[in-house]
Amino acid sequence: MLETESVLARTGGRPLRRIVYTAEEIAGRVREMGEEIAAGIPEHEDLLVLGLLKGSFIFVSDLVREIARPLQVDFLVAASYGAGTVSSGDVRLLYDPSADLEGRHVIIAEDIVDSGTTLNRLIPLLEKRRPRSLEVCALLHKHIAADLVREPRWVGFDAPQEFLIGYGLDHSEDFRNLPFIGSL
Ligand code: IMP
Ligand code: MG
């Protein structure tokens, strides 16, 4: 258990099991991912980064600043989890991007791929809008999804099968503001 004062001050007294990725490790990997993405999309073709809210809000804001080429950013909100830590298997679109996907390279930026349900429901829905390409960039991948309709093209870290919080990831809406990723 991690019970240092600086951690407890941020978690409101709740100890963490451990810090899984430090802020520095995340920044280094996000920088590499930005470079990989910039190199992977043809230079003069339209790129739209579509962040999956809420969990990806910090990841997207860091990632897009590491992609040194023109792009646009939009978000979509798909609610798949309730207050608990278990997937309900039900994905609802609460906010649908206003951006047109047709003919553009679209990268869905996801904080973490767990069961894969969110992506499996979203990808067919977004494919109908005829993007030029549709790829997934996931900061974390637990590699437990049995049948992903599309493997993420870019993955930040192969994550342990623990419940992770911080850097945008929440537990019942708490802990999103931790600068590191920890295990509850
Ligand atoms: P999936 O649909 O099961 O792949 O889950 C995707 C979403 O569930 C992610 O975008 C997260 O918001 C949430 N989620 C999955 N695993 C975790 C976790 O370990 N910590 C926090 N949120 C998680
Ligand atoms: Mg969540």
pLDDT in tens, 5-58: 888 888 999 989 999 999 999 999 999 999 999 999 999 999 999 999 999 999
* Closest ligand 1 atom to Cα of 171: 21
Per-residue pLDDT band at 80 (split at 50, 70, 90):
low
Sign of CA dihedral 5, 9, 13, 14: negative
Report the distance separating Cα 62 and Cα 31, nearest Å.
8
pTM over 0.75: yes
Is any ligand 1 atom within 6 A of the Cβ of residue 49?
no
Please give the backbone phi and psi of residue 48, each rounded to the nearest 5 degrees, phi first.
-125, 125
The answer to whether 159 and 112 are in contact (CB under 8 A) is yes
Residue from 56, 114, 120 to probe ligand 1 pocket by mutation (most atoms less than 8 Å from CB): 114
pLDDT at 7: 86
